Structure 1
């Protein structure tokens, strides 16, 4: 049976835009250096009063409006984030309360940049087993608050934002005879804790009792990303019985333009099928896939009936991919 149907999407970005030029005035970098190595030209940075929960709530409301649903129609909220408002309770519960749909299921998922894929798979599995009819799946981050702004190799890479989708549980009448059924077709997830030291935050309640800062060995992360993402994309294609040429769009984690290009080339997928927003959003971790997806729906590229591949890799390492028919 085809999985849950993706029926709506929404996004939210902080008010403040920070260009490469503004960063170059503060640290030893330049617009040319950043663009050449990453493809990033700007990012959004959360200001006073803007938190992971507030951005997530705004994106959730936009997703509900997109599909004409009310908050009371939501039974489940799964929120992916590495930058929660508090150590506990889950940021998802704050979103739930802000939306006014208390009493259902709400929890966070921590898988860093792969978080949205993990959250999507979790929500889809729960809806398939009857634990709810509709779910909000959200990726939301305020990564600017864990960056070392003196480290030019990392602080130029990240931004803040949130994206959300609404999932509906599958039913037997979701497609007419002869039509391709809409819904989640296949998902594969992986993790490898041996790679911890390549991408991590050097703090936490149980170790340093601090929030800490992001640390990354970029070259090694790049190498792992291209190999891992190519492999998991092929796993999902095999599981769904689909050829790469049949994919209408790839919506990847927006980490680095070079990674996006290299992964597409490895799979033989034309660059024009890859949704790219890293130039204006930078790397928003768990928010990047739903932000890119919503942007491509809003500008008319992604349409009902399209076959869309989501993919991401993040700290942990964690990585995964999901194939969805809209």
Structure 2
């Protein structure tokens, strides 16, 4: 059987970062202005007063301390609270493709490969800026890769779903090398005026190069031992923005056209589902959890990851067994587990085992069990 390896990764990080202190100050200014503008209605009981946020609340709820964004000024403007990302002409590279190309070039360099060595580009992310042409085909054009490209959306699980799809295509002989790219501009589909979620997301792009294990030559390469995917329908994480919105104008601009979630329900239902999925995957491969050197988990919430790691290991994780990057990057949707892998894998030795795991809306979850070559 053809074995597949991850031979390179790449990470694009925006130049601008927003601290919790900056974000909370902006949000609370918005709250003060809203309550002042609606003081009469609030007194009459027809409008509910907004409640301020705090740095302590954000850190306790999520573990997030900062996030990178494409545009800081627009997000922090209390009268706007949305990034400024100017529209580009069709002759210019789109913003998603641009950051994806940046991450992809890094992955190619780290794998010791040229763009023409790649014959599949898969863009897998939580939100695409247009219906067509596919962002992946645009990335293919600007990178100069061969073959084909297509887009995939499985929300926060897109990276692991993309890795399995790419690995399967290489095994089937439909591609020799594939790039899985996760460009995430989450700041553009986050409701920065919502106290319960205004701190959650950040922007980033990651890329992973997959190829036949017997052809991979990079110093940092990982053999894929197994992959597993799971979906289970739920409305608890949802974004209703789409092309049909204009057909029902009464709903345009409503909160559900951005990211919305029932956070407590998500925690209660997703965390045990993911922990059991990892354990079942390891058991099917006759790999005891004690052999895991590292778990690169989806970076949504520190409390979720701590629970999952404890359930899988049967104890509290120590050191870098379950590395965290969400404190500085926040939730970057599909890219989070790949950032963790990119930044916290080079110290491991040949033969060490790890699992990349992403999970989110759908519900959806994916696991990729890998071994350092």
Structure 2 length normalisation: TM-score? 0.80
Q: Shift in Å at residue 174 of structure 1?
A: 7.9
CA distance in 1, matches of 2:96, 2:268: 30
Whose Rg is larger?
2
Structure 1: unaligned runs, 5 residues or longer: 176-180
1:96 aligns with 2:140: yes
CA distance in 2, matches of 1:109, 1:143: 16
Kept after mapping to 2: 8 A contact 1:174/1:182? no
Residue 290 of structure 2, aligned match among 242, 245, 260: 245
Kept after mapping to 2: 8 A contact 1:52/1:83? no
Kept after mapping to 1: 8 A contact 2:7/2:222? no
SS at match of 2:53: coil
1:14 aligns with 2:26: no
Q: Shift in Å at residue 204 of structure 1?
A: 1.1
SS at match of 1:228: helix
> What is aligned with 1:192?
232
Q: Shift in Å at residue 207 of structure 1?
A: 4.4
Find runs of 4+ consecutive structure 1 residues off by over 4 angstroms: 207-211
CA distance in 1, matches of 2:308, 2:360: 15
1:65 aligns with 2:109: yes
Residue 234 of structure 1, aligned match among 279, 282, 292: 279
Mapping for residues 295-314 of structure 1, pairs under 5 Å: 295-297=343-345, 300-314=346-360
1:206 aligns with 2:250: no
CA distance in 1, matches of 2:148, 2:285: 29
CA distance in 2, matches of 1:95, 1:303: 33
1:325 aligns with 2:371: yes
1:106 aligns with 2:174: no
Residue 215 of structure 1, aligned match among 240, 260, 264: 260
| TM-aligned CA distance change 1:145 to 1:239, over 3 Å | same
Count the aligned residue pairs.
315
> What is aligned with 2:200?
157
| TM-aligned CA distance change 1:281 to 1:2, over 3 Å | farther
Kept after mapping to 1: 8 A contact 2:5/2:212? yes
Q: Which moved more, 1:62-71 or 1:84-93?
A: 84-93
> What is aligned with 1:75?
119
Kept after mapping to 2: 8 A contact 1:23/1:29? no
> What is aligned with 1:84?
128
Kept after mapping to 1: 8 A contact 2:10/2:104? yes
SS at match of 2:197: helix
| TM-aligned CA distance change 1:11 to 1:174, over 3 Å | closer
Instruction: Provide the alpha-carbon RMSD of the alignment.
Output: 2.1
Structure 1 length normalisation: TM-score? 0.91
> What is aligned with 1:178?
none
1:121 aligns with 2:179: no
